[in-house]
Amino acid sequence: MTLGESRAWVLAAVVVLLAVGLSAGQRPIGENKYKAQEIDESTGVPVLMEHLPNYDAIARKAVFAKDLAELKAALGDRPELDLINFTAGTEAVTAPYDAGKLLIVEYSSPQLSAEADAKFQQAAAGNPALMYKRTGNYNILVFDVTDKAAADSLIDQVKYEKSIQWLGEPPPKKKGVTVPQMAGVLFASLIILVVGGALALVAGAVAGFLYYRVMLGRRAKLPTFSDAGGLTRLNLDGFTPEILPERLLGD
């Protein structure tokens, strides 16, 4: 093998190593194999799963579900599961505990969670082996309850850690927006626009007048300019001095 061929092989090896390194560097840290809406980038696990109590100990037994079939495969065919609506991006996670089988259902909006809340409360009221509580957008159920105190403690360990941060004081809680409130908002916006436009016009007029006065004063201080070269010329612009009669030639 000649020296040129050796250099070519070395160059090709370096190129291959660089390509492999770049592809490895661009590989995502945690692949979203669960197709969940929120994934922990460091572990690739849905954030909802990590909200299970003592998750590290029961991680292998936890099941993440995005449809009713997956959930029934993990918990069995229970009538309470039919109350869950998975059509709007709902996600669920379940895991077995000593106090019972825990199920956390996360809806995509507070409205959907509130609608399901009434149904779950009704189902839990007639089933002593089922405990239920709503925390934030989490609808939490414990099936096969044998110790209500332990099941209640298990539910309390589930924390809804998402919150809304307001830039200032949060608005008062009201049931919707009424027509007078909306009319007041529109009227206030109109007043702000009218007053702002009037102030802008007045400020522009004052600034223009002051600028005009300043430029007029500067112009008055400038020396008179004539392009006649000292010769007699028509006083069309008012700058040429008047010719005295005694300096005119007689007949």
CA distances from residue 114 to 13, 20, 40, 68, 143 in whole angstroms, order as listed: 61, 50, 27, 19, 20
| Predicted local confidence at residue 72, as pLDDT | 92
Cα distance between residue 143 and residue 233, in whole Å: 112
Q: How confident is the model at residue 29, as a pLDDT?
A: 44
Nearest CA among 166, 135, 130 for reference residue 148: 130
Q: What is the pLDDT of residue 110?
A: 86
- Torsions phi, psi of 15, nearest 5? -60, -40
The two structure tokens encoding residue 43? 């572990």
Provide the 8-state DSSP code for 170: P
CA distance linking residue 121 with residue 215, whole number of Å = 80
pLDDT at 88: 78
Distance separating alpha carbons of residues 72 and 92, to the nearest angstrom: 11
What is the reported pLDDT for 71? 92
- pLDDT tens, N- to C-terminus, the chain (251 residues): 554 555 555 556 656 665 555 454 444 444 556 677 788 778 888 888 988 999 999 989 999 998 999 999 999 999 999 999 888 789 999 999 999 999 999 998 888 888 999 999 999 998 889 999 998 889 999 999 989 999 999 999 998 876 555 556 655 655 555 667 778 888 889 999 999 999 999 999 999 999 998 888 887 887 665 555 555 566 666 666 666 666 556 65
- Could you tell me if 81 and 121 are in contact, meaning their C-beta atoms sit under 8 angstroms apart? no
pTM of the model as a whole:
0.53
Q: What is the pLDDT of residue 27?
A: 42
Nearest residue to 32 via CA among 66, 56, 60: 66
Distance of CA 131 to the CA centre of its chain: 35
- Are 154 and 142 in contact by the 8 Å Cβ rule? The answer is yes
Distance between CA atoms of 86 and 107, rounded to whole angstroms?
A: 8
Q: What pLDDT was estimated at residue 160?
A: 85
What is the model's pLDDT at position 3? Answer: 46
Question: How far is the C-alpha of 71 from the C-alpha of 77, rounded, in Å?
Answer: 9
